[in-house]
Structure 1
Amino acid sequence: MAKFLNTSATNYFLEELIKSATDRLILISPFLKLNDRMKELLADKNRLKIDVRIVYGKSELQPQEIDWLRGLTYIRTSFCKNLHAKCYMNEELCIITSLNLYEFSQVNNNEMGILIRRSEDAPLYKDAYEEAQRIIRISEEVRISLERVTTPVDIKTIAVVEKDDGDDMPGKLTTSKLAKKLGFKTEELIERAVSAGFIVVSDGKHTLATKGDLAGVEFIAKSRFGPYFLWPENLSFN
């Protein structure tokens, strides 16, 4: 069951959500402005090689903060036009709140929020996760220098990583699990994904294509499992 959060509880559970992330972290907030505590938490996630995705609508970072953020290998940022949602998620927790990311740890504003636990309310968590993924899909991944980026991955790397499976998310499976479900080998599923236009090959590297992005395929670049793809469990390769 969802839990109501007041201002202090929202700050507390947001910090716990960030600290407890073990595979991925999604931070969606209209304003990208980081206080010292948030920098400390994000730097720790970067040291642990946790895949962090920040989606924002306006950046208020200072030049020294831009240099700092660009040095965090495992944190990706995306710009989303007309963003007003505030949603923060890890593998098990989700907070939907009025609290902007830059207001974290501040108590001068009156905020409200809802805490959703995946273990207690899987359908609600799934709905929030899918909407977060939609926002990520319509956003543009950028370096803080505003250079558009793509993330290539070697197919041999995927094959090795997929033996460890990675982590599934609601409605999505790792490459090896989807291949097993469809009766394919992992390499065969990758070949079919290329033929279907979900991923493309360039210089021996496999990169998520626009068609795959729109279909809901995800590329997890950095995690404790290494890089891997996540596929909608009902995706058709025909």
Structure 2
Amino acid sequence: MAKFLNTSATNYFLEELIKNAKDRLILISPFLRLNDKIKELLEDKNRLKIDVRVVYGKNELQPEEIKWLKDLTYLRTSFCKNLHAKCYLNEETCIITSLNLYEFSQVNNNEMGVLVQRSEDTQLYNETYEEAQRIIRISDEIRISVETVEKEVEISPQNSDESSPNKLTTSKLAQKLGLKTPELLEKLIQAGYLEPRDGLNFITQKSKQAGGEFRKSPKYGSYLLWPEDLHP
């Protein structure tokens, strides 16, 4: 059955939840400012190529936070308007809590929450997971896992993938191929369509020759379009 958590227990089990994630990790928090321990754990998940989704609701990220997030290839961030829920899940455990993923809250505030184990409360876990997925679906992905840099290219906001009917974004191409986005990114790098440098993935000449396009918009930032028949 669900276990009650006070502030210190919430922090402890949150770290354990992140540490023990083997397949997926979902972190939903209106406010986002990570302490060094959480960053260390997420960097380890990135090295292990674990799919991490972070959803936040207050657009107040500091420049150093943005740069750190961009360096994690397998971590995707989304912005959800009017978000107030705080929920953290891996494939076996979830925490529903008042605690933001915010360093000040973790140190200074009095918080509480509940710990749910999938093996003991399957229905409650599944209902929480489904609601987390709904929140992800209605949020705007700020940085698709591929992060491209090509300073000389600027595409006007109205030029979106709707104007390229035979091309797909990286996430949509991954879905079509039956892959997770991080898996497709790895294949694109191995095939020479992307070149990783300094924590970012750069579009290559081979990408351009194959029909890959760099796009940039004020709302979604940098992203790529690929021919729908591309098979890296």
Give the TM-score normalised by structure 1: 0.63
Q: Are the counterparts in 2 of residues 27 and 55 from structure 1 also a CA contact under 8 Å? A: yes
* Offset from partner CA, 1:199-235 (integer Å, 9 cap, x none): xx943159xxxxxxxxxxxxxxxxxxxxxxxxxxxxx
Find out whether 1:153 has 2:196 as its counterpart. Answer: no
Q: Distance in 2 between matches of 1:121 and 1:136?
A: 23
Runs of at least 5 residues in structure 2 that lack an aligned partner in the other structure: 148-156, 161-168, 184-225
Q: Are the counterparts in 2 of residues 32 and 101 from structure 1 also a CA contact under 8 Å? A: yes
Cα displacement (A) at 1:67? 1.6
Partner amino acid for 1:42? L
For residue 48 of structure 2, what is the aligned residue in structure 1? 48
How many residues align structurally? 164
Cα displacement (A) at 1:39? 1.2
Distance 1:83 1:17, change over 3 A: same
* Offset from partner CA, 1:44-75 (integer Å, 9 cap, x none): 11011000000000133322221221111000
For residue 82 of structure 1, what is the aligned residue in structure 2? 82
Q: Distance in 1 between matches of 2:59 and 2:78?
A: 11
For residue 98 of structure 1, what is the aligned residue in structure 2? 98
Find out whether 1:5 has 2:5 as its counterpart. Answer: yes
Q: Are the counterparts in 1 of residues 99 and 106 from structure 2 also a CA contact under 8 Å? A: no
For residue 126 of structure 1, what is the aligned residue in structure 2? 126
For residue 64 of structure 1, what is the aligned residue in structure 2? 64
Runs of at least 5 residues in structure 1 that lack an aligned partner in the other structure: 162-200, 207-238
3-state SS of paired residue (1:21): coil
Provide the aligned C-alpha RMSD in A.
2.7
Partner amino acid for 2:174? V
Q: Are the counterparts in 2 of residues 154 and 204 from structure 1 also a CA contact under 8 Å? A: no
For residue 137 of structure 1, what is the aligned residue in structure 2? 137
Distance 1:75 1:11, change over 3 A: same
Q: Are the counterparts in 2 of residues 8 and 107 from structure 1 also a CA contact under 8 Å? A: no
3-state SS of paired residue (2:17): helix
3-state SS of paired residue (1:106): helix
Partner amino acid for 1:97? T
For residue 203 of structure 1, what is the aligned residue in structure 2? 228
For residue 199 of structure 2, what is the aligned residue in structure 1? none
For residue 166 of structure 1, what is the aligned residue in structure 2? none
Q: Distance in 1 between matches of 2:112 and 2:69?
A: 28
Percent identity at matched positions? 74
3-state SS of paired residue (2:81): coil
Give the TM-score normalised by structure 2: 0.64
Distance 1:31 1:80, change over 3 A: same
Q: Distance in 2 between matches of 1:80 and 1:202?
A: 29
Distance 1:127 1:45, change over 3 A: same
Q: Distance in 1 between matches of 2:8 and 2:104?
A: 10
For residue 18 of structure 1, what is the aligned residue in structure 2? 18
Distance 1:48 1:153, change over 3 A: same
